Amino acid sequence: MNDLSRFQRYGLAILCCAVALAVAWPIDAPASSFLLAVTVSSLVGGLGPGLLCAALCAIAFDVLFLKRVFQPAFLPTDSLRIVVFLATALLVAGLLEMKRRAEEAGKRAEEDLRAAREDLAHLSRVTAMAELTAFIAHEVNQPIAASVTNANACLRWLAGDTPNLEEAREATRSIVEAGTRASEIISRTRLFFKTGMPQRELVDMDEVIDETIVLLASEATRYGISIRTSLASGWQKFTADRVQLQQVMVNLIANSIDAMKDVDGARELAIASERTAGKEILVSVSDTGVGLPPQPTAEIFDAFVTTKRHGTGLGLSISRSIVQAHGGRLWATPNTPRGAVLQFTLAIEDEPLDRHS
């Protein structure tokens, strides 16, 4: 209907009435023909064209059929016939308009819900980045400080009576390496702020895990947490949104770090990946922290449920939505002797691709 102009919709109503009249006249079946015309006009044109068609059909029904049959006398029952027909036509037009508006409202609600989910996912990333700002700044500060140190060393090697060019070149190479590392950290951080529709590409989950560990390594070091990895997902690339999967890993690892930073004893974070027999990748993040909360485990994935003092309760909920959108599931179990294990699966493609392709 949205593809037709206002003039075309009303013109269609007149055409429907004319076609119904042409069909009804020779077979003397006006009611069914005219009601069909009103139905088509309402479905295609909306309420206005439907009412116009109903009015035209009512006039044709009265003038061309009732008076043709009951001439010369026009009885009161004839008026009742036209009233019943008109009421039926108006009811059909009204019901079809209500149906159309309900469908449009449903479509708008779906679009609003989809937009709200995208905004919520973006908000979750921004909220997570607010929590990550301190140790990202610390991570970037290290290569910057190294660059300054190497630059001063380079100046000293060049300022001597006999400049040591080899040492100066080595210091310069170190500056380049530190600058490259700082640039990579900033690039990963900028990707995390991206919004809009998910961007699907071929992704290696082990690479995503490695990149996330680099991003959070300084935070783990700050709290004396050791990180152990066992990545053996088969080097299989699959179609996914890389930034969203990194968001899941950041949420899970950050939660584990937060759960361990105040505990006594060993603080160990173990991250593993493997390819299952069911053509899936299984990723697990286990810690030796405070463990799962006392409420049922499934509730920790509900929106706005959090055990953190300043938490939003969105991280795990958004992570579960992302995993489900990638054909997998996310769940949590207790760790032994203490802590928690969060695991999720992802659907992968049938044919493996080379990791370095």
DSSP per-residue codes, 289-332: SS---SS-GGGGGSTT---STT--S-HHHHHHHHHHHTT--EEE
**What pLDDT does residue 357 have?**
39
Look-up of token digits 């060393």? 153
Token pair for residue 149? Answer: 């140190």
Beta strands in 307-352 (DSSP E): 330-334, 340-347
**What pLDDT does residue 336 have?**
86
Say which residue, 56 or 67, is predicted with more confidence. Answer: 56
Token pair for residue 281? Answer: 């990748």
| Confidence at 355, pLDDT banded by 50, 70, 90 | very low
The CA distance from 56 to 70, in Å, is 20
Listed range (1-15, 207-221, 245-259) with the worst mean pLDDT: 1-15
- Strands 268-275 and 237-241, bridge-based pairing: unpaired
3-state helix, strand, coil in the chain (%, to 5): 65, 15, 25
How far is CA 317 from each of CA 54, 119, 196, 324, rounded to the nearest angstrom? Answer: 52, 14, 19, 11
Listed range (79-83, 292-296, 313-317) with the worst mean pLDDT: 79-83
User: 29-33, 62-66, 271-275 — which one is most confidently predicted on average?
Assistant: 271-275
Residue 329 clears pLDDT 80, i.e. is over it: yes
Closest CA to 257 of 191, 308, 333: 308
Q: Which burial class, exposed, middle or buried, applies to 287 when counting CB atoms under 10 A from its CB (0-12, 13-18, 19+)?
A: buried
Residue 140 clears pLDDT 80, i.e. is over it: no
| Confidence at 226, pLDDT banded by 50, 70, 90 | very high
- The model's pTM is 0.48
The CA distance from 220 to 253, in Å, is 9
Query: Average of pLDDT values for 261-280?
Result: 88
Token pair for residue 228? Answer: 């152990």
The CA distance from 185 to 247, in Å, is 15
The CA distance from 26 to 37, in Å, is 17
